[in-house]
Amino acid sequence: MKAIDLIRWAMNFTEQGTNRIVEDMKNAPLTQPCSNGGNHPLWNMGHLAYIEGAIRHVVIGEPNPVEDQRPGLAADQLAQYGPLWPGHRLPPRGRP
């Protein structure tokens, strides 16, 4: 097996797993994972997308297609976007 074949396999494997996670979080993208805080699923997905783009940049030299989203991945940035859909309310800020 060549290195590129291993990279392709790993990326396909990751895509399949990520698709299952996305399907699970579709109706609760901003759910806090536990009572002690943590990052909601949508924030985590943003990081996964950014990292995938960074890997593409390192491996094949293509620019990261989501580089412009980097500032929005900061934990305190969500409030600046407001509701994501009609009727959506942002979770309270800070930890319980």
Residue 59 lies in a domain: yes
For the chain (96 residues), the mean pLDDT of every run of 10, in chain order, is: 88 86 78 73 81 84 84 58 62 50
What was the pLDDT predicted at 96? 40
Residue 23 lies in a domain: no
Residue 76 lies in a domain: yes
What was the pLDDT predicted at 89? 65
Q: Domain count for the chain, please give it.
A: 1
Residue 94 lies in a domain: no
If we measure between CA atoms, which residue out of 87, 77, 86, 69 comes closest to residue 40? Answer: 77
Residue 65 lies in a domain: yes
Give the integer Cα–Cα distance in Å for 37 and 28.
15
What was the pLDDT predicted at 81? 59
Amino acid at 28: A
Amino acid at 73: L
Give the integer Cα–Cα distance in Å for 34 and 70.
25
pTM for the model: 0.54
What was the pLDDT predicted at 46? 82
Residue 46 lies in a domain: yes
The domain in which residue 44 lies consists of 38-81
Residue 55 lies in a domain: yes
The residue whose two tokens read 């094949």 is: 60
